[in-house]
Amino acid sequence: MKKLVPLAAAVAAAAFLMAGCTNPGTGTSNPGGGATSGTTSGTTSGATASTWPDQTASLQGVTLTIWAAQTSTTEPASVVSAFEQATGATVNVVTIPDPYEQNVETKIATGDKPDLALWQPTAAQLTGINAATNLLTINDAPWLSSYKPGLKDMAGLLNDQRYAALITSPSVMGVFYNKKVFAANGITALPQNWDELVTDAKTLKAAGVTPFFEAGGDKWPTQFWVQTQLAEAAQSGLWDRINSGQEKFTDPTILGAIQEYQDLINQGMFNSNIASATFADQATALLNGTAAMAVNINALVAQMQTTADTATLNDTIGFFPISKSGTIATSVPDQTNGLVAFNTGNATQENAARQFMSFWMGQGYSGFVNAMNTVSLQTNVPDASGVPQVTLDLSSALANSVGSMQSLAVVNTDLYIYLANMIAGTMTPQQAAQASQDQFDQTAKAAGVPGF
C-alpha cells in the first residue's frame, strides 16, 4: 500500500468518469454492469451462483492478466501458483507504475483492459474505473456467505451492485504507539477521545519525547490526521452532505479538523523534519521510540515488518482507534483489499476471471491467508498463526468503524497534497480546505453529480 490516493482531479480524468454512463456519482444508465458481456454467446456479466464456474475446471490454453500496483504485485503469488497447478491456466501479474489509480484509469480510457485487477473497493474508486461499464458484477458470488459478520457489505458496492471481492481486511485509520515509551512516561490508559490524546501528547512533550511522527515528505499519510477527527460527523451524514453540496470542506467541521492539525504542528508536537520525513522514517521512529505515536493505517505495520519480527512488534507496538469524541475507527479499503474482474467482451476470459476469483476466495483462500500472514475474512478459515497482535487489533476495530472520504464521498480530492503544502508553509488551513472544495466541485460537476 503506498497511496490511498483519490480520483484524478483533472478535468480530463473527470471526463473519463463520464464515459459510457449517465451519472457515475449517483446512478448509471447501466447499473447492472451490462446486460451481457458483449460476447456473441450472450454470457451475462453478473453470473449467478448456479453459473459460476467450478473452481478447478480445466483452463488449459487460457491466459489471464492481473494488474497490480508496485506495492501489491506479489500479493496474488500464492493464489496464482495454486490456480495454475489446479487448472492448467497461465496467470500473468503485471505491475502498473505509481500513481496506480490514475495510470489504470488512463489505460482503460484508451481501451486497454486486463482480465482482473487489484483495486480499491470504494464507491469513489469504483466510480473512477466506471464500474457499470467496465467491470463484471459479482452479486451472487459463491463465497459471499463465508464472510465474517459485518464485512460482506463494507466494500465493493456501487449503486447496490457488487463489483469487487474483498480479499483482505480493510485498512483502519488510528494511532500506532510505542508501548515502551508510553510505559516509561507513566501513560497506562489509552486515550478515549481526542482531548485525552492531546493531553497525553503534552505529557510526552514535557518529558522531552516527540509525541507524534508525521511523514510529510511522502504526503499521503497527512490525510489521516484530518479524517480521524471526522468519524462522528461521518456517522451523522457528513459525506452525504458534502456529496449533495449542503456542506463544504470550508465549513467548520472539516476546516476545524485541518486547523487542529496545524495547531498541533505549531505547538511542536511533531518531529522537526515533518515536511521531509518519509513513511519509512515514520516506521523506524515508532519502532525505536524516537517518537511515541503515529497516525496511519495498516500499511504502517507492513512497513515495520520489513525490519521487525512478530515478537518484536508484539512487545513494542500497539494500536488504538481515535475520533473527536471517542474511539470510533475510520475504515478505508485500499487497492490491496479488493479484486475486480473486467467486462472484456470475451466470454472465455470473463468466465476464467470469475473462476480465478472464486478459487481465490474458495479453495485458495486458506493458503493465501497463511502466505500473507494476515487476518482471515472468512468464518471457516482461521487467521494465520503468526499475525501480530497489532494487526488483530486493527481488524477488531472494524466492528466500531465508519467509512472514510474514500469510502463515502462520490469523488475524492487531493486533500493529502494540500495538507502537505500546509505543512511546508505554502498553504494555510483555509487555502487547503478551499483547494479541496474547488477540486471536489470541479470533478463532481464534470461527472454529472446533481447539485454541481
CATH code (residue 426): 3.40.190.10
What span, in angstroms and rounded, lies between the C-alpha atoms of 66 and 80?
10
pLDDT surpassing 60 at residue 100: yes
- Under the banding of pLDDT at 50, 70 and 90, the label for residue 34 is very low
Q: Determine, yes or no, domain membership for 433.
A: yes
* 420-442 pLDDT per residue, tens: 999 999 999 999 999 999 999 99
Q: What is the chain's Cα-based Rg?
A: 22
Does 231 share its domain with 292? Answer: yes
Report yes or no: 319 and 169 within 8 Å, Cβ to Cβ: no
Give the tens place of pLDDT for each residue, 170-194. Answer: 999 999 999 999 999 999 999 999 9
pLDDT (0 to 100) of residue 10? 31
Task: For residues 225 and 300, state if they share a domain.
Answer: yes
Residue 418 lies in a domain: yes
Q: pLDDT of 191-203, one tens digit each?
A: 999 999 999 999 9
- Give the pLDDT confidence score for residue 30 in this predicted structure: 28
Query: Closest Cα to residue 393, out of 335, 329, 309?
Result: 329
Name the band, by pLDDT with cuts 50, 70 and 90, for residue 446: confident
Domain extent at residue 36: 31-170+333-381
295 with 212, same domain: the answer is yes
26: in domain: no
Lowest mean pLDDT among 1-5, 169-173, 318-322, 399-403: 1-5
**Is the pLDDT reported for residue 27 higher than 80?**
no
Residues 395-411: b if buried by 16+ CB within 10 A, e if exposed: bebbeebbbbbbbbbbb
∠ CA 167-171-173, rounded to 5°: 170
**pLDDT over 70 (residue 7):** no
Shared domain check, 182 and 225: yes
Flag whether pLDDT at 43 surpasses 70.
no
Residue 390 lies in a domain: no
Amino acid residing at 242: I
Model confidence at 85, in pLDDT bands (50, 70, 90)?
very high
How much is the mean pLDDT over the chain? 89
pLDDT level of residue 224 (50, 70, 90 thresholds): very high
State the pLDDT at residue 32. Answer: 27
Question: Taking 60 as the threshold, does the pLDDT of residue 154 lie above it?
Answer: yes
What is the phi/psi pair of residue 168, to 5°? -135, 165
Whether residues 82 and 185 fall in one domain = no
pLDDT level of residue 18 (50, 70, 90 thresholds): very low
Residues 207 and 320 in one domain: yes
Mean pLDDT value across residues 46-66: 84
18-38 average pLDDT score: 29
pTM over 0.85: no
In a domain, 370, yes or no: yes
Count how many domains the chain has.
2
pLDDT digits (tens, 9 = 90+) for 314-340: 999 999 999 999 999 999 998 999 999
Structure confidence at residue 290 as a pLDDT band (50, 70, 90):
very high
pLDDT of 26 > 60? The answer is no
93-119: average pLDDT: 95
Reference 406, options 216, 67, 172; nearest CA is 172
The verdict on residue 395 lying in a domain is no
pLDDT higher than 90, residue 413: yes
Asked whether residue 312 is domain-assigned, the answer is yes
Residues 183 and 326 in one domain: yes
Q: Do 338 and 367 have their domain in common? A: yes
200 with 78, same domain: the answer is no
Q: Is 50 exceeded by the pLDDT of residue 67? A: yes
Domain identity same for 157 and 207 = no
Instruction: Name the burial class of residue 41, with classes exposed (0-12), middle (13-18) and buried (19+) by CB atoms within 10 angstroms of its CB.
Output: exposed
Pair 192, 285 in one domain: yes
Give domain status of residue 12, yes or no: no
Question: What's the one-letter identity of residue 301?
Answer: V
141 & 290 share domain: no
User: What is the pLDDT, as a whole number, of residue 267?
Assistant: 98
